[in-house]
């Protein structure tokens, strides 16, 4: 038998390689045709790796709304809170200089959402802006947000307003033991970012277990509420009102979310 000449072998090898490469992209049969590749990070046209939170769904709840105080009848309406009823919402606290908790929570939440989306997550925000002409949503809506979509995690962002002498620092609140494990992870991420545990609540360990919060009680996924600092403390307020400080909070929370969902 005559052997094929080298000149004829080279084109044949190239064709076989091209077919193999095409098969790896398209899949080898019906099963491969139905598969959807996870979102991937692309830099300068090159695919680097699958995004770490691809396929994950996170609900972020920016506490309060800037206009709540202007709608007392609406926010005082009683709603379901998990076996009992409580007011739809409140106006929240503020710094001594008047910087509203609602604005702080919105600024941190939108930064957090951006970071999580860049990591591949689907993110739902319970409100879409910070307006003095708007109120709500009520705590029952915040609590049920994401339930129908099978969300993986809910993080409710808040600032505290204690007048206790020297009160400062953050703490993380959970509504049950399962969510308390999430709270521990977020506590670690905030500490790694240089934030101090609260000195005035939760026994100084930065964790609290409460059953009176509708946002946690009505969530069908692990859910935590983070009090990122005491807005009545001058030191905490300086960080909480600065864009750089808000970026630090968002970065720390994003790190914690990634640790939990990895």
- Positions annotated as catalytic residues are 227
How many other C-beta atoms lie within 10 A of the C-beta of residue 219?
27
In 47-100, which ranges are continuous DSSP H helix? Answer: 72-76
User: What residues contact 143, with CB distance under 8 A and at least 6 apart?
Assistant: 81, 82, 214, 215, 216, 217, 218, 219
Give the containing element (helix H, strand E) for 12.
Answer: helix 6-26
> Would you say the C-alpha torsion 184, 197, 138, 112 has a positive or negative sign?
negative
Q: Could you give the CA distance from residue 193 to residue 253 in angstroms, rounded to a whole number? A: 9
């Amino acid at each position: 038998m005559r052997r094929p000449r080298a000149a004829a072998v080279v084109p044949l090898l190239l064709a076989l390689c091209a077919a193999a490469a095409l098969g790896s992209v398209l899949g080898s049969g019906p099963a491969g045709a139905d598969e959807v590749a996870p979102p991937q990070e692309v830099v300068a046209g090159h695919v680097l790796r699958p995004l770490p939170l691809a396929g994950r769904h996170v609900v972020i709840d920016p506490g309060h709304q800037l206009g709540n105080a202007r709608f007392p009848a609406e926010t005082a309406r009683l709603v379901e809170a998990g076996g009992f009823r409580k007011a739809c919402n409140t106006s929240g606290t503020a710094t001594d200089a008047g910087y509203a908790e609602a604005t702080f929570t919105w600024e941190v939440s939108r930064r957090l959402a951006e970071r999580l989306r860049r990591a591949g997550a689907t993110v739902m925000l319970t409100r879409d802006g910070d307006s003095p002409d708007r109120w709500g949503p009520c705590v029952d809506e915040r609590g049920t947000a994401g339930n129908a979509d099978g969300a993986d995690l809910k993080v409710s962002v808040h600032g505290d307003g204690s007048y206790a002498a020297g009160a400062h620092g953050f703490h993380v609140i959970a509504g049950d033991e399962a969510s308390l494990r999430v709270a521990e992870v977020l506590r670690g991420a905030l500490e790694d970012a240089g934030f101090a545990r609260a000195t005035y609540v939760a026994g100084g360990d930065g964790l609290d277990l409460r059953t009176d919060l509708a946002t946690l009680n009505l969530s069908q996924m692990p859910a935590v509420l983070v009090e990122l600092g005491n807005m009545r403390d001058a030191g905490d307020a300086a960080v909480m009102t600065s864009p750089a400080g808000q970026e630090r909070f968002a970065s720390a929370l994003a790190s914690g979310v990634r640790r939990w969902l990895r």
